[in-house]
Structure 1
Amino acid sequence: MQTAILGGGCFWCLEAPYQRVKGVISVVSGYIGGHVDNPTYQQICSGTSGHAEVVKIEFEPSVISFSELLDVFFNIHDPTQLNRQGNDSGTQYRSAIFYQDEQQQQLAQQYILQLSKQQVWSQPIVTTLEPKQTFYPAEDFHQNYYDNNPNQPYCQIMISPKLAKLEHLFADKLK
Structure 2
Amino acid sequence: MSEIATLAGGCFWCLDATFARLRGVSQVDCGYMGGRIEAPTYKAVCTGDTGHAEVIQLTFDPTIISYATLLELFFALHNPTTLNRQGGDVGTQYRSSIFFHSEQQAADARKKIADLASDYRDPIVTEVTPAVTYWPAETYHQDYFEQNPEQPYCSAVVAGKVRKLVQEYGNLLK
Tell me whether the two structures share a fold, i.e. TM-score over 0.5: yes
Residues 1:160 and 2:159 aligned together: yes
Uncovered stretches (5+) of structure 2, i.e. residues with no partner: none
Distance 1:134 1:44 in 2: 15
Alignment of 1:1-175 (within 5 A): 1-116=2-117, 119-175=118-174
RMSD (Å) for aligned C-alpha atoms: 0.5
Q: Secondary structure at the match of 2:119?
A: coil
Distance 1:121 1:17 in 2: 22
The one-letter code of the counterpart of 1:145 is Y
How big is the shift at 1:142?
0.4
The one-letter code of the counterpart of 1:9 is G
> Residue by residue, what CA displacement relative to the aligned partner does 1:51-84 show, whole Å, maximum 9, x if unpaired?
0000001001110010000011000000001000
The one-letter code of the counterpart of 1:138 is A
TM-score w.r.t. structure 2 length?
Answer: 0.98
TM-score w.r.t. structure 1 length?
Answer: 0.98
Large movers: runs of 4+ above 3 Å: none
How big is the shift at 1:15?
0.2
How big is the shift at 1:120?
1.5
